[in-house]
Amino acid sequence: MSKLALIDYVLNPAFKVNDNLLEEPQASMKVALIQDRCKSIVFEFDKKLGKEYKGGIFPFFNNQNSKVCKVCDYIIFSEFEGSLYALVIELKTSAQSTLPQIKAGECFVDYIISTVNRINNTNHTIQKRRVSIREFQRKKKTKLKEIEYDENNHHFFDQNRMRIVSFLK
Residue-by-residue pLDDT tens, the chain, 169 positions: 899 999 999 998 888 888 888 887 776 788 888 888 788 999 997 666 666 666 556 655 666 666 665 788 899 999 999 999 999 999 887 767 788 889 989 999 999 999 999 999 999 999 999 998 876 555 555 566 678 888 777 888 777 788 888 888 7
- Quick one: the chain helix, strand, coil %, rounded to 5? 25, 30, 45
| Residue at 53 is within a domain | no
| Residue at 26 is within a domain | yes
The pTM (predicted TM-score) of the whole model is 0.85
| Residue at 57 is within a domain | no
- Report the alpha-carbon distance of residue 91 to residue 99 in Å, rounded: 11
| Residue at 56 is within a domain | no
- Show the domain range for 146: 3-48+63-167
Residue 74 pairs in a beta bridge with 44, 89
For residue 26, the number of C-alpha atoms closer than 13 Å in the C-beta half-sphere is 8
Q: Provide the residue type at 4 as one letter.
A: L
- Report the alpha-carbon distance of residue 110 to residue 15 in Å, rounded: 18
What is the number of structural domains in the chain? 1
Q: CB of 33 within 8 A of CB of 21?
A: yes
| Residue at 99 is within a domain | yes
pLDDT at 62: 61
- Report the alpha-carbon distance of residue 67 to residue 85 in Å, rounded: 26
Length of the chain: 169
pLDDT at 116: 97
Pairing, β 83-92 against β 74-80: antiparallel
pLDDT at 69: 57
| Residue at 133 is within a domain | yes
Q: Provide the residue type at 110 as one letter.
A: D
| Residue at 72 is within a domain | yes
The contacts of residue 93 (CB under 8 Å, 6+ apart) are 24, 27, 29, 134, 135, 136
| Residue at 141 is within a domain | yes
